[in-house]
Structure 1
């Protein structure tokens, strides 16, 4: 795979005990150094024009000035230093690179994966929250829509938290489809089944809020029974995966049980789906706070895209998850 990486993302310092630290990228790079076929691209800093497609100009001014003044605590979870503005623009820019590289034909072994930080899916059009300042996947999706060969983009968010920011950006527009599998009851408390979008965005939001304890079987069922039929109907030109790895069974901040092999199995499902849809595929890093589980899972995504067949679970979908999937399918007429 081609990984988007920029040293500027390391300079966003969050403090010794903050889970979203630069050690995440260092752990990923160490693990990838042991694999074949890994290439890196630096991309470019996201432009102001690209950011303003999803963020209010006054909010961007506020964040830039906040960082220029030395940063500090934006909210209880979200902190910045002087270098954070450049890091956030680098992270968003890597996501833009990933989307365009995918659309330019970099697929299969060359599928792009942006490993920037800070992450982005909690950043709303006018506010930073949940470790996020800029909506990386949203910036990438709207940049892709500027191309003549793109009419519709889908974002699939498998982070354990719901991407409230990404959903809010596209809730009332139909050119970006947002789907999320997440743990019900976790921060930020959004992402209910009955949030399907409105106006031009009616039907373009799909949420699968599972209870804690779900694992590979439930995630694969959500892809097979909800995401696939929804995207077959929507027919996107590009699928961006908001790839957080905090639903991993060894992650410290969730109760989900997705295995490393499970992330490979989901990757295989999405690659096959994009082949069927003739859609490009790109990955953008979100969360994941066990350094070993994060690094191993990204290595699994890479190895899967290089032909490895991940081991799929033989466990059955739980009754509660089956009820939730039935609810989702009914809400969306799937």
Structure 2
């Protein structure tokens, strides 16, 4: 069944500029937008939506007041000095970065809101968020966009149980930290083992009321489509056997594609159509919708094709790429 997919964006997201020598550059958005517009069938299935920037109250449901103030102050310093300010080794703030981060979090909220209305939505936004901790920046991330969206909708009483699926090549350590003791959020993270940020081993399964609601799937460098998809589907099946989410949010990193300078997996763009379809086909009747939020992905010549495949799957359109790849045969589901 074909669906209209809200594509939630904001112009401020392109104004976060950590410098020409940084991996997380504004041209990522341009490459993604060009690829989507170049597919007429897909473009006709999309509905462009301008996100509403998050407010400070949204951030404070996830981040400490001191940290929010620190990011704001760093952007103000960058504006005064006409340069950039490093929050940590990999995360750099420019004059427009605080504004961009608010917009990115707001795009995630907007996508999640539309998912609750029954849509499959995508937040095309930056900076990314899944490494951002409650009290510090990390791994190119300022605020945890997915967590801000989940906490906003929970605070408004619009949703309770949420499944977060993180397929970025790197472990979503910030998201894990935020939801680790929370019985209302189940996190699946499929990522490179023995890689940045050094967390995400299978023994990390949640704590207290959230015990058993974190499922980490570390995979070795060089993992290809068939094995990745087998482990991914196994994790989905295990989670959905005991947890029935009202909403699913995907941390959609495109650095899992082969050739990404920050990655190490051997997946191709078409495999992302399969991963998205695998998720959609498994959702229980209680699930109202799916919101995907942009995370990593740094090979500018590759990420656009990956996004097109995810959006085509969300829209109910077939893959635009042929022939089928090794990972295209769906792993069998347990009886």
Q: Please report the TM-score for the alignment, with normalisation by the length of structure 2.
A: 0.89
Q: Which deviations, in whole Å up to 9, do the C-alpha atoms of 1:134-192 show, x marking residues without a partner?
A: 00011111112134442211110000000110000011111111110000111110000
Residue segments in structure 1 that go unaligned for 5+ positions in a row: 318-334
**Is residue 86 from structure 1 mapped to residue 94 from structure 2 by the alignment?**
no
SS of structure 1 residue aligned to 2:276: helix
SS of structure 2 residue aligned to 1:74: strand
**Is residue 172 from structure 1 mapped to residue 181 from structure 2 by the alignment?**
yes
Q: Which deviations, in whole Å up to 9, do the C-alpha atoms of 1:213-256 show, x marking residues without a partner?
A: 11211222123212222123111110100000101012122221
**Is residue 254 from structure 1 mapped to residue 263 from structure 2 by the alignment?**
yes
Residue segments in structure 2 that go unaligned for 5+ positions in a row: 79-83, 330-335
Q: In the alignment, is the contact (CA less than 8 A) between 1:145 and 1:153 conserved in 2?
A: no
Report how far residue 274 of structure 1 moved. Answer: 2.3
1:238 is matched with 247
SS of structure 2 residue aligned to 1:90: helix
SS of structure 2 residue aligned to 1:13: coil
Q: In the alignment, is the contact (CA less than 8 A) between 1:151 and 1:175 conserved in 2?
A: yes
Whole-Å separation in 1 of the counterparts to 2:328 and 2:20: 40
1:72 is matched with 85
Q: In the alignment, is the contact (CA less than 8 A) between 1:223 and 1:269 conserved in 2?
A: no
SS of structure 2 residue aligned to 1:242: strand
1:320 is matched with none
**Is residue 203 from structure 1 mapped to residue 212 from structure 2 by the alignment?**
yes
Please point out which of 54, 72, 97 is paired with 1:46. 54
SS of structure 2 residue aligned to 1:130: coil
1:327 is matched with none
Q: In the alignment, is the contact (CA less than 8 A) between 2:131 and 2:137 conserved in 1?
A: yes
Please point out which of 4, 16, 19 is paired with 2:8. 4
Report how far residue 279 of structure 1 moved. Answer: 3.9
Please point out which of 177, 190, 193 is paired with 1:184. 193
Report how far residue 38 of structure 1 moved. Answer: 2.6
Aligned 1:83-122 pairs, distance under 5 A:
83-105=96-118, 107=119, 111-122=120-131
SS of structure 2 residue aligned to 1:217: helix
RMSD between superposed Cα atoms in Å: 1.8
Report how far residue 309 of structure 1 moved. Answer: 3.4
Q: 1:222 to 1:53 in 2, by over 3 A?
A: same
Report how far residue 275 of structure 1 moved. Answer: 5.2
**Is residue 25 from structure 1 mapped to residue 34 from structure 2 by the alignment?**
no
Whole-Å separation in 2 of the counterparts to 1:64 and 1:147: 26
Q: Once superposed, which parts of structure 1, at least 4 consecutive aligned residues long, lie more than 6 Å away?
A: none
Whole-Å separation in 2 of the counterparts to 1:242 and 1:218: 20
Q: In the alignment, is the contact (CA less than 8 A) between 1:262 and 1:312 conserved in 2?
A: no
2:277 is matched with 268
Q: In the alignment, is the contact (CA less than 8 A) between 1:32 and 1:38 conserved in 2?
A: no
**Is residue 61 from structure 1 mapped to residue 78 from structure 2 by the alignment?**
no
Q: In the alignment, is the contact (CA less than 8 A) between 2:190 and 2:216 conserved in 1?
A: yes
